[in-house]
Structure 1
């Protein structure tokens, strides 16, 4: 039985949308310094920073728990300012057979819109939707915005 789902959240930011996109597409290893409460590490395990097919290993805190995740950069679209990460290993794989995280930034002058999309498939019916993952994405987004507005 397949249990797919999708969560989408849009967040308006006042910081530079191009810089936001670049941070996730090419410099994710800078995020722990910007949002240390939520992300403690991002290491390159294979490939090169900012390259499709590269493998990243993240240490983060979700719901007060230290967790890890390994992802492959599945797509980077510089024109559309989007990045897609596919989960391959880690704590969330116990809950979701599939988890794709896509970040898209619409830049419009002083105001920019960050859209997070989570496409997932639960391992069983008792697994909750990944709302806590979306909450984490929102917190990191706000930390990055605050950092760039300093």
Structure 2
């Protein structure tokens, strides 16, 4: 069993890539209003919303438990609607030596495709791949889509 892992998924949505990217990257603090059953809070720890090197404190609900993660925004590409979060503190690092979440919002003729890539290094071979976190990403994507398609863009 390999210690390095990489999981990917794509979620097709009817909302625009630009609007989706704006919420997830530049306004993640609104996600607790959009999907409170999955995201309890996203708080600014250091710097500015949506900027590279910004540090965010996340409280997510995964596998029925509240998990905390401190993430740094890195590798931002506004033109491609993509960015990467690197986990620097929190529950995930009890299982993984390193953990990154890459997100790209790809425009299509109708709607867009949201591509998630989880890259990590496990602390030991007994740790499972993070399929539940990948599933959470897909579910949050659908919640944000529903919010955007409902014209609730004021949140």
TM-score range, shorter chain: over 0.9
Q: Counterparts in 2 of 1:117-132, with a 5 A limit?
A: 117-132=117-132
Instruction: Report the counterpart of residue 41 of structure 2 in structure 1.
Output: 41
Question: Does residue 12 of structure 1 match 2:9?
Answer: no
Structure 2: any 5+ residue segments left out of the alignment? 151-155
Q: What's the CA shift string for 1:42-83, capped at 9, x where partnerless?
A: 000001111100100001100111111000001210111101
Instruction: Report the counterpart of residue 86 of structure 2 in structure 1.
Output: 86
Give, in angstroms, the shift of residue 111 of structure 1: 2.4
Structure 1: any 5+ residue segments left out of the alignment? none
Q: What's the CA shift string for 1:18-41, capped at 9, x where partnerless?
A: 110111221111111101000010
Question: Does residue 71 of structure 1 match 2:101?
Answer: no
SS at match of 1:52: coil
Distance in structure 2 (CA, Å) of the matches to 1:34 and 1:75: 25
Distance in structure 1 (CA, Å) of the matches to 2:76 and 2:33: 23
Alignment RMSD: 1.3
Distance in structure 2 (CA, Å) of the matches to 1:93 and 1:107: 33
Give, in angstroms, the shift of residue 145 of structure 1: 0.7
Greater than 3 Å deviation, 4+ residue runs: none
Instruction: Report the counterpart of residue 55 of structure 2 in structure 1.
Output: 55
Q: How many residues align?
A: 150
The question of whether the paired residues in 2 share the 8 Å contact of 1:71 and 1:87 is answered with yes
